[in-house]
Structure 1
Amino acid sequence: MARRPAGGAPARPARRKPGGPEAPLPSKEALRRFLQASPGKVGKTEIARHFGLSSDQRPALRELLKALKAEGSAAPAGRRGVTAPGRLPEMAVIEVTGTDPDGDPIARPLGWKPEEQGRMPVIFMRPERAGQPALAPGERVLARLKRIGAGKYEGMTVKRVGGAAPARILGIYEEGRIIPTDRRHKAEWAVAPGEAGGAHPGEIVLAEPLPGRALGLRPARIVERLGRLGEAKSISLICIHAHGIPEIFPSEAVLEAERARGVTTRGREDLRDFPLVTIDGEDARDFDDAVWAEPDGTGWRVIVAIADVAHYVTPGSALDREAWARGNSVYFPDRVVPMLPEALSNGWCSLRPGEPRGCLFVEMRFDSGGTKSSHRFGRGIMKSAARLTYEQVQAAHDAGEDPTGTVAPLYGAFRALLAARDRRGTLDLDLPERRVRLDAEGHVLAVEPRARLDSHRLIEEFMVAANVCAAEELERIGAPCMYRVHDRPSDQKLEGLRQFLDAFGISLPQGDRLHPRDFAHVLELVQGKPEERLVHETVLRSQSQAAYAPDNIGHFGLALARYAHFTSPIRRYADLLVHRALIRGLALGHDGLEETEAARFPDTGEHITQTERRAAAAERDAVDRYLAAYMSQHVGEVFEARISGVTRFGLFVTLEANGASGIVPLASLPDDRWTEDQARHALSGQRTGLTFTLGQAVEARLIEATPRTGGMVFHLMQGMPAARPPRAARARPARGAGRRS
């Protein structure tokens, strides 16, 4: 490679000798290559020097640069300089947008136009100087930038220039300061005397930023006290406020729910003689679906009955407005934040055994191989014969017992539906769900995998079949439908997955031939192997996220051409819309979908997709914090683990026992020059010869577990002398330089 001169420009050809022949003007392609290779802006002088041009050729060079700018191959930089398009200048005002997994700020350039300049570059800000407060999201600074790769820059603060402060701050109050509960935010806040709102040290507080800046930390005023960290329900309380989950119902919505009464048989089919049963988890708090099956010739007749939420939550009502705003219920280990007030969610819309309840139902008929021959929808009144748990149903089936007379037919119909699912070739990611067990005071007793039984899959198959029927029926009658859509993985994610699987000698088909069964085959290949859980998780991360939309693109993961959520209107607004569309389209009542609602379907689909993702993030956050609280009792202990992430700043490990995950900082690894191989997902030491790869089994010592943030820090035992602990306190050098690059 050619040596670069001290000024940083690419190596240049020999200059033209005085009186010698004039050097030819560079082509557009040569000039484009020169700009791409230059680390920053260049002027006409640097270009002329590089290509050996004379002063007489300056006008021609000026016209050439003008042409390159016009076609987008060069961008202005400063008063007279140019740079490659999409390249940031050496000094720029940037805005902090968040933090990387190591807690250091990530920023973006202000004024960037992706439609004109391409993909938004990422700026990794170096830690602030000693004594300076950490950069907070929304803060703007003048930064010196250094390009460290395609679309990646390292930034160093030159001057803080203000910026938008967060609308509110959630943290733990300590004497005169607030420590954020979000592990991505390292910036603490100062609370002046008289601004604490009566808060005591150790309390969870909500605060608002104040204008100006005190010396050091930014000032804030406490506006609400939420209880003490460590008290029962404090963890879920943090997550509710951190993710903006609406918790308090408006009084008018509560009054509407409390005025609700039971339904009559008028205009409804009477299903009370059918022994429909609900099957849910032991800790279920609402029961909105009931099932029944019987043999039908060589096939099966199945009824799925769903609570008639549309009877109580009518368009435009206070209940409807609040349900739309929430989008869905949110489930925490110690509580539920419901979509509907308790008088409905645990009352008239809960299918309690022995109590008459209104329902929408679908009656389906399947042949012995699980192929559906017919379905019909209706509005009915039912009475649940029993409230069963998954464990009870599985135990009865395994023992050959059937106290309610309903279990054996349910399993017969399930086996038929399962055969159809296998023929269809769906993606079945069997990842264990973590269950948090709490004592009466809200303290964590254990975090353990939730059992995955055939009884769980039975209910899932019945619900999937009912959801497919709902989408098919709405298409048949030409009614609006809020589909549950799931696109195929993006090409970028697929390429990353292929590189990951290549390390295990596994390949995926290319192009449009990809089918969910191809992923299922990958999972079969790793079944029972040490890397099984890691491959499951990586395949899951490669998938697109499901969404709600009125335009159908099918459901890739389930290998279904049409799919809509119908079975949980207590906890999902999308299902309520599908119920209303069926009621209107099939003339089942006067409380069906209204034209104004149908017109808002695109916006509503985007909204409830976001509320669903908000709920999922809050639920994961809560489990992580509960897990950190539990693991804080085991600091110093060594656990069997697997490497679940390889990054430029260290490793991530996941414990085999309970799924707890945490970071292994680069500074805790043996003293070496570490290099990251992104293709192999590996981190290698040049002197020690140690290599850490994705999926590798390791022993990890827990160093730190912080319930306040849910973060955990581990050190690996591999490569460490038994006589001394890892040198965790050693400072991490700047990115792109030093011994730990």
Structure 2
Amino acid sequence: MVGHRPQKTLPSKEDILGFIATQSGKVGTREIARAFGLKNADRAELKAMLRELEDDGRVDRKRKKLHHPGMLPDMVLAEVTTRDRDGELIAVPADWDTDTNGEAPRIRIHVPRRARPGEIPGVGDRALLRTEDVGAEDGIRYRGRVVKLIGQARNRVIGVFRALPDGGGRLVPIEKKNVGRELAIPSGRTLDAQDGDLIAVEVQRHGRFGTTSAQVKERLGSVATEKAVSMIALHVHGIPHVFPREVLREAETARPAALTGREDWRDVPLVTIDPVDAKDHDDAVFARPDTDPKNPGGFVIDVAIADVAHYVRPGSALDREAALRGNSVYFPDRVVPMLPERISNELCSLKPGEDRAALAVRMVIDATGHMRSHVFHRILMRSAAKLNYAQVQAAIDGRTDATTAPLLHMVLAPLYAAYGALQKARSEREPLDLDLPERKILLKADGSVDRIVTPPRLDAHRLIEEFMILANVAAAETLEKVRTPLIYRVHDQPSMDKLEALREFLASIDMSLPKTGALRAAGFNRILAKAKGRDVEILVNEVVLRSQAQAEYASENYGHFGLNLRRYAHFTSPIRRYADLVVHRGLIRGLRLGDGGLPDGVDLLSLGEVAAKISAAERRAMAAERETVDRLIAHFLADRIGASFEGRISGVTRAGLFVKLDDTGADGFIPASKIGNDYFRHHEGKHALIGDKTGETYRLGDRVSVRLVEAAPIAGALRFELLSEGTITRTDKRRPGRAKHKPSEPKEKRSNRVGKRPGTARRKR
């Protein structure tokens, strides 16, 4: 290594940090030892030094590579945001955790002289970049080369059309970041849009002064009905939702798979277990006691997954569209599928009594739920029944129906017995066990919200979850064994910064977090267990969740922290996730199971590009789904202005408080300027706003009463007025001049808040 001569003594920590900073490739214990001429006897001490550097937060270990925290990986999905004074393009990472790593680093994009027009990004585009650290140049440390353009910007803005007397109109944007930035639409460019229509416009001219003009390109429907709500999210996030003709043509010409080249499993009584309203059924399960005398109390578990790879071949129109979409997107009123219905709801839906192609894994577990062996098969199957979670749970609890009664002893009871064994292994593994209820919106026939419910969490749900996790582990292990590249589902451990913030918060409620050593998922579970039954239970669950990293897809493995698994891949839902389809193709290629396998030219580099794109698509889908729920609930509550609600503080920022209502789960905002007659400061570590003068405190998780004062359904925004008093956490007063009264609030307001109002919720001490 240039600049590092072999030496006999151990390097200092500063020497190690300096060496890591100079390297662009993989840096691990072996590379450091080689650079400093260390022998095998010295490596134990070197590893101890590296662990200390990790514990101190001075280096991160990710994907078997050591690097400084906050540094970019070699490959990154980035958004082109601006040009510098020399006209060069500047980008920032599309997925950057500012809470953990601070301000996102800027990347100067290098465009080769001979680049073709389609290879050159513009402001607003997304691109996959190969980055290198070139040192600080005008404050820009990284240079990036475009590997692939992900999506080029269209000057499209979504909003509500407001008609003007002259025949033109104005567009009121629906994105929160564009609220108040209206666009002028001249007469003749309205596409006959009517007042109140949801429209998509193309920006025509950016004026130096005044508003910007635009032309209507598409009418998306009236915003008077909730049916337009999910369309807003689709257009705002650029989610493809109309299949090209070529894709539909390929789907329509596809024919069911035959038995040729497959094992005949049609006599195996596999069953599907899904939500009651599911339209596609891509996984089926069966279990039976193992008859091998060497495995007493063990089970044989079969998990069969629809063989999507048989119908969606690499490089086909279906494949290109599926890769573009990345995953299916689920809204309360519709599903935007990754694949056309001819594939997802017909040929690949494991319907009872019909022959279907599948990729199956047969797994043998022992009495304690540990996997002894697993083998993959390409099969033709015939589902014995289509069941739903509540139906299966009722049968196990003694309430069978015409469908479940014949299956109870032969199919359902063995499934639950095998699940009982898997529970033992899960308890031993101790994955992260957060307890946060999920709400579901039920709609009326006209698309409006009927009610919002919290479905019970049944053992039937957990059974399928454990079977799928086991199959996913088997897929990852098999692909590693046959040396076939794959896309892992990975989840990094929490960053040092987030752990420190969690430690500070827990200390404020008389709980503690270990200060040294790596914290495993089991450590978080012990914290959650201590909070169970206390008034801070929901609060602690929320804060622990926020301390976690985000799961993603990657071609290199660094484990799944939340599940506490060393290797994990998504295999069980290729109908709705492209990552699973890639894993299926890898298994077909690696195990020589026939046609439709991973092409020979696919390697870690190309799979790394795919993983980056589908991770971004997953985050895009999550944002769209969340925003649609917000808009639907805002519609639901729009006629209840002035009503009072009970809830909990779900977010604390410098600008104010977010409150989640108990009955609907709706989130609304209370500006800090509207809280009391004091100056409230944001205490990040305590997740609280605390009054300078009074010490009045509003903290994450506190129960509060609020009044709804404004609802903006199109933006999905609610604004509340706080009715509850905060908790007084101290009695001392600060020095004169530190307390500030807001000029916008009269002094009389404070007198109106003395004493506890009826219905006021105080946090228990």
Class of the TM-score when normalised by the shorter of the 2 chains: 0.7 to 0.9
**Number of residue equivalences:** 581
Q: 2:630 aligned with 1:624, yes or no?
A: yes
The corresponding residue for 1:578 is: 583
Partners of 1:675 and 1:554 in 2: CA distance: 39
Q: 2:386 aligned with 1:381, yes or no?
A: no
Q: 2:293 aligned with 1:299, yes or no?
A: no
TM-score in terms of structure 2 length: 0.72
Partners of 2:245 and 2:371 in 1: CA distance: 46
The corresponding residue for 1:427 is: 432
In the TM superposition, residue 120 of structure 1 has moved relative to its aligned partner by: 4.2
In the TM superposition, residue 569 of structure 1 has moved relative to its aligned partner by: 0.5
The corresponding residue for 1:528 is: 533
Do 2:473 and 2:568's aligned partners in 1 also have CA atoms closer than 8 Å?
Answer: yes
Matches within 5 A, 1:396-415: 396-399=395-398, 401=400, 403=405, 404-405=407-408, 406-415=411-420
Moved more, 431-440 or 626-635: 626-635
Partners of 1:559 and 1:635 in 2: CA distance: 46
Partners of 1:345 and 1:648 in 2: CA distance: 46
**Alpha-carbon spacing, 1:209–1:385, altered in 2? closer, same or farther (3 Å):** same
**Alpha-carbon spacing, 1:114–1:593, altered in 2? closer, same or farther (3 Å):** closer
* 1:388-434: CA deviation from partner (whole Å, max 9, x where unpaired): 11110111112264522321111111111111011011002232222
In the TM superposition, residue 215 of structure 1 has moved relative to its aligned partner by: 5.6
What amino acid maps onto 1:179 in structure 2?
V
**Alpha-carbon spacing, 1:121–1:373, altered in 2? closer, same or farther (3 Å):** closer
SS in 2 for 1:376: strand
**Alpha-carbon spacing, 1:221–1:424, altered in 2? closer, same or farther (3 Å):** same
Moved more, 550-559 or 293-302: 293-302
Do 2:690 and 2:696's aligned partners in 1 also have CA atoms closer than 8 Å?
Answer: yes
Residue 521 of structure 2: which of 502, 516, 521 is its match? 516
The corresponding residue for 1:594 is: 599
Q: 2:195 aligned with 1:192, yes or no?
A: no
Q: 2:705 aligned with 1:711, yes or no?
A: no
Do 2:226 and 2:635's aligned partners in 1 also have CA atoms closer than 8 Å?
Answer: no
The corresponding residue for 1:649 is: 655
In the TM superposition, residue 295 of structure 1 has moved relative to its aligned partner by: 1.3
In the TM superposition, residue 192 of structure 1 has moved relative to its aligned partner by: 1.9
The corresponding residue for 1:71 is: none
Do 2:678 and 2:742's aligned partners in 1 also have CA atoms closer than 8 Å?
Answer: no
Do 2:250 and 2:317's aligned partners in 1 also have CA atoms closer than 8 Å?
Answer: yes
SS in 1 for 2:177: coil
Partners of 2:615 and 2:561 in 1: CA distance: 17
Do 1:667 and 1:729's aligned partners in 2 also have CA atoms closer than 8 Å?
Answer: no
* 1:238-267: CA deviation from partner (whole Å, max 9, x where unpaired): 111111110111111111111111111111
In the TM superposition, residue 671 of structure 1 has moved relative to its aligned partner by: 2.3
In the TM superposition, residue 113 of structure 1 has moved relative to its aligned partner by: 11
SS in 1 for 2:176: coil
Do 2:81 and 2:91's aligned partners in 1 also have CA atoms closer than 8 Å?
Answer: no
Do 1:662 and 1:714's aligned partners in 2 also have CA atoms closer than 8 Å?
Answer: yes
The corresponding residue for 2:330 is: 331
**Alpha-carbon spacing, 1:166–1:317, altered in 2? closer, same or farther (3 Å):** closer
* 1:489-538: CA deviation from partner (whole Å, max 9, x where unpaired): 11122122222222222222234421001111121122233332232222
The corresponding residue for 2:158 is: 170
Partners of 1:215 and 1:96 in 2: CA distance: 25
**Alpha-carbon spacing, 1:579–1:728, altered in 2? closer, same or farther (3 Å):** farther
The corresponding residue for 1:280 is: 274
**Alpha-carbon spacing, 1:120–1:363, altered in 2? closer, same or farther (3 Å):** closer
Partners of 2:420 and 2:344 in 1: CA distance: 32
Q: 2:341 aligned with 1:348, yes or no?
A: no
TM-score in terms of structure 1 length: 0.75
What amino acid maps onto 1:389 in structure 2?
N
The corresponding residue for 1:259 is: 253
Instruction: Indicate the percent of aligned positions where both proteins have the same amino acid.
Output: 50
Structure 2: 5+ residue stretches without partners: 1-78, 83-87, 94-100, 106-122, 125-138, 140-151, 164-168, 291-295, 727-740, 747-765
**Alpha-carbon spacing, 1:471–1:658, altered in 2? closer, same or farther (3 Å):** same
Partners of 1:253 and 1:333 in 2: CA distance: 26
The corresponding residue for 2:366 is: 367
**Alpha-carbon spacing, 1:444–1:263, altered in 2? closer, same or farther (3 Å):** same
Q: 2:404 aligned with 1:416, yes or no?
A: no
Moved more, 495-504 or 681-690: 681-690
Partners of 2:264 and 2:218 in 1: CA distance: 51
The corresponding residue for 1:245 is: 239
The corresponding residue for 2:560 is: 555
In the TM superposition, residue 184 of structure 1 has moved relative to its aligned partner by: 2.5
Do 1:566 and 1:575's aligned partners in 2 also have CA atoms closer than 8 Å?
Answer: yes
Partners of 2:533 and 2:270 in 1: CA distance: 38
SS in 1 for 2:511: coil
Q: 2:444 aligned with 1:445, yes or no?
A: no
The corresponding residue for 1:546 is: 551
Partners of 2:586 and 2:104 in 1: CA distance: 44
Partners of 1:308 and 1:96 in 2: CA distance: 38
The corresponding residue for 1:33 is: none
* 1:45-103: CA deviation from partner (whole Å, max 9, x where unpaired): xxxxxxxxxxxxxxxxxxxxxxxxxxxxxxxxxxxxxxxxxxxxxxxxxx9989xxxxx
What amino acid maps onto 2:689 in structure 1?
L
Partners of 2:566 and 2:209 in 1: CA distance: 61
Residue 182 of structure 1: which of 175, 185, 200 is its match? 175
What amino acid maps onto 1:452 in structure 2?
R
Partners of 1:731 and 1:384 in 2: CA distance: 67
Residue 614 of structure 2: which of 600, 608, 618 is its match? 608
The corresponding residue for 2:486 is: 481
Partners of 2:210 and 2:316 in 1: CA distance: 50
**Alpha-carbon spacing, 1:419–1:698, altered in 2? closer, same or farther (3 Å):** same
Structure 1: 5+ residue stretches without partners: 1-94, 99-109, 123-136, 139-150, 152-163, 721-726, 733-741
In the TM superposition, residue 634 of structure 1 has moved relative to its aligned partner by: 2.2
Matches within 5 A, 1:65-214: 120=103, 167-175=155-163, 176-186=169-179, 187-213=181-207
Partners of 1:274 and 1:717 in 2: CA distance: 61
**Alpha-carbon spacing, 1:113–1:329, altered in 2? closer, same or farther (3 Å):** closer
Do 1:114 and 1:120's aligned partners in 2 also have CA atoms closer than 8 Å?
Answer: no
Partners of 1:241 and 1:442 in 2: CA distance: 19
Do 1:207 and 1:223's aligned partners in 2 also have CA atoms closer than 8 Å?
Answer: yes
Partners of 2:529 and 2:347 in 1: CA distance: 44
The corresponding residue for 2:393 is: 394
Do 1:204 and 1:229's aligned partners in 2 also have CA atoms closer than 8 Å?
Answer: yes
**Alpha-carbon spacing, 1:670–1:310, altered in 2? closer, same or farther (3 Å):** same
Matches within 5 A, 1:689-728: 689-719=695-725
Partners of 1:670 and 1:652 in 2: CA distance: 16
Do 1:699 and 1:717's aligned partners in 2 also have CA atoms closer than 8 Å?
Answer: yes
SS in 1 for 2:502: helix
**Alpha-carbon spacing, 1:97–1:346, altered in 2? closer, same or farther (3 Å):** same
What amino acid maps onto 1:370 in structure 2?
G
SS in 2 for 1:703: strand
The corresponding residue for 2:464 is: 459
* 1:142-172: CA deviation from partner (whole Å, max 9, x where unpaired): xxxxxxxxx9xxxxxxxxxxxx997210111
What amino acid maps onto 1:388 in structure 2?
L
The corresponding residue for 1:500 is: 505
Residue 236 of structure 1: which of 220, 230, 238 is its match? 230
Q: Which has the larger radius of gyration?
A: 1
Partners of 1:279 and 1:185 in 2: CA distance: 44
* 1:428-483: CA deviation from partner (whole Å, max 9, x where unpaired): 22322221100111010112223211111110000000000000011111111111
Do 1:280 and 1:388's aligned partners in 2 also have CA atoms closer than 8 Å?
Answer: yes
Do 1:112 and 1:120's aligned partners in 2 also have CA atoms closer than 8 Å?
Answer: no
Partners of 2:377 and 2:743 in 1: CA distance: 67
What amino acid maps onto 1:275 in structure 2?
P
The corresponding residue for 1:51 is: none
In the TM superposition, residue 549 of structure 1 has moved relative to its aligned partner by: 1.3
In the TM superposition, residue 630 of structure 1 has moved relative to its aligned partner by: 1.3
